[in-house]
């Protein structure tokens, strides 16, 4: 299957939406709360509309799902999975760590992923079985094989205040086992940073399909290993994701099991 035309359009609209977000990061945004700490801005909605309008015009027979209530499902073979602004809380505070994430699913398999960081002008991309790239240059996961020497990343779910399944136990178990932990606030970027060896591993709970679809493919195509916390196959509709360079994978699974006993 030739997906070059899909990749070209996805990269193009990701850059266009990202440019709009970059230019407005210091503009007062109207903020709506979907939960106690889960928010959305008018710029999330504006970016999603830009992406949907463009891709649906290019590919009118494709389905769509997106974070901000976007759902166009008619049972087509192709479906776009869109996060127009991954890192909304960061964006709302003017903290310049956020991205645009777009994935394409074909017959329930992710075949294309694009993650664009507009602040650093970094375009991460991958097509199934064709490798992963950063601004057109091939990338690969790190060669760190010792968890003690690894830099890993994570995040916390939006129901942190209400649920005991909140990742704090896993964080406490990892913080004494790794060199350091980072919490960037954008799962899509965390995954891309695993893919290009800036991070050696990443784990998180309760993410949504649009948070992980593109980034998970990029990690796989960069030579990394993706699963749930128990060495099971990753489902983008599941509650757990573990992404590593492969070398520290077993060590990370062992630590995650400590938090599930």
Domain end point (choices 120, 139, 158): 139
Give me the CATH number covering residue 244: 3.40.190.80
More confident residue, 171 or 67: 171
**What is the per-residue pLDDT across 76-121, written as a single tens digit (0 to 9) for each?**
899 999 999 999 999 989 999 999 999 999 999 999 999 999 999 9
pTM: predicted TM-score of the whole model, two decimal places:
0.93
Do 102 and 126 have their domain in common?
yes
Do 165 and 70 have their domain in common?
no
Domain end point (choices 139, 173, 200): 139
**What is the per-residue pLDDT across 40-73, written as a single tens digit (0 to 9) for each?**
678 889 999 999 999 999 999 999 999 777 888 8
- Report how many domains make up the chain: 2
Do 47 and 128 have their domain in common?
yes
pLDDT band, residue 143 (cuts 50/70/90): very high
Q: Which structural domain, as residue segments, surrounds residue 197?
A: 147-258
Residue 27's pLDDT is what?
Answer: 80
Residue 144's pLDDT is what?
Answer: 97
Do 129 and 163 have their domain in common?
no
Give me the CATH number covering residue 40: 3.30.540.10
Sequence-distant (6+) residues with CB within 8 A of 203 are: 152, 154, 170, 174, 229, 240, 241, 242, 243, 252, 256
Domain end point (choices 111, 139, 167): 139
């Amino acid at each position: 299957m030739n997906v070059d035309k899909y990749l070209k359009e996805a990269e193009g609209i990701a850059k266009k939406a990202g440019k709009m977000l970059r230019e407005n990061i210091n503009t007062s945004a109207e903020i709506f709360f979907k939960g106690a700490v889960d928010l959305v801005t008018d710029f999330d909605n504006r970016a999603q509309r830009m992406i949907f309008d463009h891709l649906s015009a290019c590919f009118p027979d494709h389905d769509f799902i997106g974070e901000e209530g976007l759902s166009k499902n008619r049972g087509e073979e192709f479906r776009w999975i869109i996060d127009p602004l991954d890192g909304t809380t960061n964006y709302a505070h003017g903290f310049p760590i956020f991205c645009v994430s777009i994935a394409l699913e074909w017959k329930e398999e992710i075949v294309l992923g694009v993650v664009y960081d507009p602040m650093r002008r970094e375009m991460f991309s991958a097509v199934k079985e064709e490798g992963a790239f950063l601004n057109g240059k091939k990338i690969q996961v790190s060669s760190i094989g010792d968890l003690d020497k690894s830099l890993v990343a994570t995040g916390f779910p939006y129901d942190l205040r209400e649920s005991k399944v909140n990742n704090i136990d896993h964080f406490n178990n990892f913080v004494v086992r790794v060199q350091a932990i980072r919490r960037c606030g954008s799962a899509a970027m965390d995954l891309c940073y695993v893919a290009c060896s800036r991070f050696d591993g990443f784990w998180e709970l309760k993410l949504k399909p649009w948070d992980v679809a593109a980034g998970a493919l990029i990690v796989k195509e960069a030579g990394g290993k993706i699963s749930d916390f128990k060495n099971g196959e990753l489902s983008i509709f599941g509650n757990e994701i573990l992404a590593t360079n492969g070398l520290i994978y077993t060590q990370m699974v062992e630590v995650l099991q400590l938090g599930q006993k």
